[in-house]
Structure 1
Amino acid sequence: MTFIFWLISRLPLRVLHAIGGALGLLAARLPGRYGRRLVENFRHAYPDATDAMIAEAARHTGRLIVEMPYFWSRKSITVRTDCFDDHLWPEMDRLQSQGNGLILTTPHLGCFEILPLSHARLRPITCLFKPPHQPWLREFVERMRTRPNLAMAPATPRGVRMLVKALKRGEALGILPDQVPSGGEGTWAPFYGKPAYSMTLVHRLQQLTGAPVVMIYAQRLPHGQGYRGHVRVLGDNGRLPDDPAAASATINAAIEDLIEIDPTQYLWGYNRYKQPGGAEPPPATMASAPVSPDTTTQNH
């Protein structure tokens, strides 16, 4: 598998994006739950979405998949990254200089693989990942994604301890904030007006360490030209509300705000609204209106 990943990574990004786009569209049009969920989730968030927009969302999912071997197997980033070094990382430096570390949240939007790699060129970062059930695959994923200055922390108690230690060293974390947590480890919060079981880990880490929270997004440029960086500083200079549910609502609203830049680049086929085993049902009284993002906006 390592050789296959290496072979794929030798292709130019524009070629991989073309192949991934075709495969993503094909997968979405095959009979099954994935294609139906992609359409349902997209149309729930954007009732006026056209068939062309939905098809492009399917293509972006395919591009996301082929980006994994491209970045996992390359030793250095050689693609265009608009505004990363000029604006994105200097803003992160400002927040990280407070000495409490930094929590970088990156939703299932655009290319989230390039962001930790780019950050690790400058300073250490520890990224949370959900380990596969198969031991051999878990070892493969962790080995392929680990780089100098880039450590991988599994979504286990041991991994959470790694995150806390990194923050206490004043380092950065990378977390997918729209990953559905296990039952009992999250809270219900609105996402496009519909209850979504949302992680409270980001809130707990901030409460424990005082680390500011930001949200970043690498927007995929057309024809494999590269990526453009966007950042949102959440709450009051990176400080979330003290209430866990309010904090999750703030995070979800910031995700919606970033999706608005290009709705077709979100992973709409992800089962964001599932109720994991052990989680209480969503409250019947949850407001259907979107929550204010409460963020500081910076587009580059």
Structure 2
Amino acid sequence: MTFLFWLISRFPLRLLQAVGGVLGLIAARLPGRYSQRLRENFRLAFPDATDAMIDEAGRSAGRMIIEMPYFWSRSKIGAKLHGFDDDMWPALGALQARGKGLIILTPHLGCFEVLPQSHALLRPVTALFKPPHQPWLRDWIEKMRTRPNMHMAPATPRGVRMLVKALKRGQAVGILPDQVPTGGEGNWAPFFGKPAYTMALVHRLQQLTQAPVVVVFAERLPRGAGYRGHYRVIDGGGMLPEDAAEAAGVINRHIEQLVAMAPTQYLWGYHRYKHPAGAELPPDYTASTATKTTTDPSLS
């Protein structure tokens, strides 16, 4: 598998994204739960989304997958980065300079693989990942994604301790905030108007360390032209509300703002609204309490 990833990574990014786009479109058009979920979730968030936009979301998912071997198997980032070193990382570095560390949230939007690698070129970062059940696959993924200044922390008690220690050293940590946690490890909060079980880990980490929280994404530019960095600092200088459920809602709202910038690049086929075993029943959010974006996706 390592050789296959290495072989794939030798091809130009533009070609890989083209192949990934074709495979993603095929998967999105095949009948089944994945394609149905992709359409339902996209149109829940953006009711005016066209079939062409939904097809493009399918292509983006394929590109997201094919980018993994490209970034995992290269010793250096082989893509052009726009707005990273001249805007995003300096701004977030100023927050990190407070000495409390930095919690960087990277949702399933655009290319999230390039973000920790890019940050690691400047400062250390510890990225949380969900380990597979197979020990060999877990060890392989951890090895493939580890870089100088970039450490991988499994979503286990040991991994959480790694995050806390990194933050207390004043370093940054990276977390996928829209990954559904196990029952009892999250709170229900609106995401495009529908209850989504949202991890409580980010709130707990900030309570322990007072590290500011930011949400970032790397927008995939057309025809292999690279990526453009975008970020949002959580309201109040990166500080979440004291209440955990309210904090989950704030995180989801900031993710929505970034998704509205490139709605076809979000992973709509992910089962974001599932009810994990052991979690309480979700509340019934009404239109008056739901957080909806008013951005026209056709303009993004």
The TM-score normalised by the length of structure 1 is: 0.96
CA distance in 2, matches of 1:218, 1:26: 24
Contact preservation (8 Å) 1:195, 1:286: no
Q: Give the aligned length.
A: 293
Q: Displacement, 1:290? A: 3.6
Q: For residue 272 of structure 2, what is the amino acid of its counterpart?
A: R
Corresponding residue of 1:296: none
Contact preservation (8 Å) 1:190, 1:288: no
Q: For residue 53 of structure 2, what is the amino acid of its counterpart?
A: M
3-state SS of the aligned residue for 1:122? coil
Q: Report 1:79-158 matches (<5 A).
A: 79-158=79-158
3-state SS of the aligned residue for 1:215? strand
Q: Displacement, 1:9? A: 0.2
CA distance in 1, matches of 2:200, 2:44: 24
Q: Cα 1:173–1:115, aligned 2, differ >3 Å: closer, same or farther?
A: same
Q: Displacement, 1:78? A: 2.4
Corresponding residue of 2:204: 204
Corresponding residue of 1:297: none
Q: Report 1:179-190 matches (<5 A).
A: 179-190=179-190
Give unmatched runs, 5+ long, in structure 2. 294-300
CA-to-aligned-CA distance 1:53-89 (integer Å, 9 cap, x gap): 0000000000000000000000001211001000011
Say yes or no: does 1:77 pair with 2:77. yes
CA-to-aligned-CA distance 1:146-178 (integer Å, 9 cap, x gap): 111000000000000000000000000000000
Percentage of matched positions with identical amino acids: 68
Corresponding residue of 1:276: 276
Contact preservation (8 Å) 1:250, 1:291: no
Q: Displacement, 1:291? A: 3.5
Q: Displacement, 1:289? A: 3.6
CA distance in 2, matches of 1:31, 1:286: 31
Q: Cα 1:148–1:115, aligned 2, differ >3 Å: closer, same or farther?
A: same
Q: Displacement, 1:31? A: 2.1
CA distance in 2, matches of 1:241, 1:174: 20
3-state SS of the aligned residue for 1:17? helix
Q: Displacement, 1:92? A: 1.2
Q: Cα 1:152–1:206, aligned 2, differ >3 Å: closer, same or farther?
A: same
Q: Cα 1:40–1:288, aligned 2, differ >3 Å: closer, same or farther?
A: farther
Contact preservation (8 Å) 1:45, 1:192: yes
Q: Report 1:1-300 matches (<5 A).
A: 1-284=1-284, 289-291=289-291
Q: For residue 146 of structure 2, what is the amino acid of its counterpart?
A: T
CA-to-aligned-CA distance 1:96-155 (integer Å, 9 cap, x gap): 000000000010000000000000011100000000111111111111001110000000
Q: Displacement, 1:30? A: 1.5
The TM-score normalised by the length of structure 2 is: 0.96
Q: For residue 92 of structure 1, what is the amino acid of its counterpart?
A: L
3-state SS of the aligned residue for 2:272? coil
3-state SS of the aligned residue for 2:237? coil
Contact preservation (8 Å) 1:183, 1:279: yes
3-state SS of the aligned residue for 1:53? helix
Contact preservation (8 Å) 1:185, 1:199: yes
Q: For residue 133 of structure 2, what is the amino acid of its counterpart?
A: H
3-state SS of the aligned residue for 1:205? helix
CA distance in 2, matches of 1:78, 1:89: 18
Q: Cα 1:139–1:273, aligned 2, differ >3 Å: closer, same or farther?
A: same
Give unmatched runs, 5+ long, in structure 1. 294-300
CA distance in 1, matches of 2:38, 2:289: 22
Q: For residue 143 of structure 2, what is the amino acid of its counterpart?
A: R
Contact preservation (8 Å) 1:194, 1:288: no
CA distance in 1, matches of 2:56, 2:134: 32
What is the Cα-based RMSD across aligned positions, in Å?
1.2
Q: Following superposition, which runs of at least 4 residues in structure 1 exceed 4 angstroms of deviation? A: 285-288
